Amino acid sequence: MVDETHDAQRKCWVAGADGHLEFPIQNLPLGIFSTPGDAPRGGIAIGERVLDISAARAAGLFDGEARVAAELAAGPTLNQLLAAGPAARNALRRRVSQILSDPAYAPLAPRMLHGAESCQMHLPLDVHNFSDFFAGIHHATTGGMINRPDNPLMPNYKYVPVAYHSRASSVRASGTAVRRPNGQRKPPDQAAPDFGPSRALDYEMELGVWIGEGNDLGMPIPIGSAGRHIAGLCLLNDWSARDIQSWESAPLGPFLAKSLMTSVSPWIVTAEALEPFRIAQPPRPAGDPAPLPHLLDDHDQAQGGFAIEFHVSLLTPAMREASEAPHRLSVSHASMLYWTVAQMIAHHTSNGCNLLPGDLLGSGTVSGTQPGSEGCLLEMTRGGRNPITLPNGEMRTYLQDGDEVIFSARCEAPGAVPIGFGECRGVVMPALRL
């Protein structure tokens, strides 16, 4: 529900917050931060500052449900706060919005605000499970074309929100460098595989979903209430070693090509902040089957999508040395997802599988149909066949050592103050020499 926290007229006394491209007062994303010498704890981004939730609580600013929520955000992860569900998040959000919009609280700024540049951001949750979906239909189609040009999508694609269980232990917050993996590679012209550094390290631009309240084992989440289990969203880079992937994936799917590391943006943009940016799920093309009844809900079809635009940029070592800005490689949109997040949750639990607070879902690579909307280099370079040329003349098929991949995103809707996600970035380190 849209409320006073979304009011476009609401102003904030924190310098630079009004008109901030990512974190105006209408956003208030949750994260875990630390300052030098202090333990990681819950914070809220506001402009170029971070609100220290524990410090605001110590100053006596919270009562009732908001105080309970603030206590749940005091530790090194936000799992407990997310487990408490939407009411707890919303109580905290409404009170923090009130505090940051009322200049009477401005004198408390030195006690409860930190400059974002002095804060280190951490993974916001202890991630127990990470499931990666494949809901970007144009990514699935382009990838499928490589082996099945006439019939790129598998027969289950339009019935099942396809996913695999990925690795939770290697999820890291933005800014963590990714090590180029060693693995088995078998180029088509080689009779047998060899072992060595991946020659085809790629990124995948995905929407990340943080699960709030979980479900008990054996108790599916119905499609009609699945949306309530979305605590918030982030940006997710599913680093992928394409050469390792193409050799290892038959018949059980991706394994070491993906588990090397996954990066997420550190701020949880809450379901509440995203309310003004909910949109209808685009109608399925004529001839596509309707979702089966357990995945179909009128409200979800009318409101289950998100107006989020994704941006991918690349900064090479040469560009960094020349003090050049990152080069934007692509722009895509969450409306390119064939399944809603609620459908992913309903499907995931339809067999009774239990989700836990802080579980992470990836949407699958979000790509459009036009050049410049591809969510990974595999698509952009047609499997490495068509290198891209950067403005400084450098060429890329896949990532080289020292390259930095930067994701950002923006939500816009009529009458709403636009909000962003912050960045999800990671630089490629050379492989270990074995």
Q: Note the residues at the interface with Ca ion (CB under 5 A).
A: 132, 204, 238
Residues involved in catalysis:
139
Beta-bridged to residue 408, according to DSSP, are 311
Q: How far is the CB of 264 from Ca ion (least distance, A)?
A: 13
List all residues 6 or more positions away from 47 whose beta carbon is below 8 Å from its beta carbon. 12, 14, 15, 16, 17, 20, 23, 24
Q: What is the distance, to the nearest Å, from the Cα of residue 25 to the centroid of all Cα atoms in its chain?
A: 21
Question: Of 22, 163, 44, 19, which is closest to residue 100 (Cα–Cα)?
Answer: 44
For tokens 């971070």, the residue is: 50
Q: How far is the CB of 362 from Ca ion (least distance, A)?
A: 6
Q: What is the 3-state secondary structure (H, E, C) of 158-209?
A: CCCCCEEEECCCCEEECCCCEECCEEEECCCCCCCCEEEECCCEECCEEEEE
Q: How far is the CB of 342 from Ca ion (least distance, A)?
A: 20
Q: How far is the CB of 365 from Ca ion (least distance, A)?
A: 6
How crowded is the C-beta side of 365, counted as CA atoms within 13 Å? 26
Q: How far is the CB of 132 from Ca ion (least distance, A)?
A: 5
Q: Closest CB to Ca ion among 22 and 204?
A: 204
On the 0-12 / 13-18 / 19+ scale of CB atoms within 10 A, 148 is exposed
The strand ranges marked E within 276-392 are 278-279, 305-306, 308-315, 327-333, 360-365, 388-389
- CA–CA dist 386, 142 (Å, integer): 14
In degrees and rounded to multiples of 5, residue 363 shows phi and psi of: -75, -20
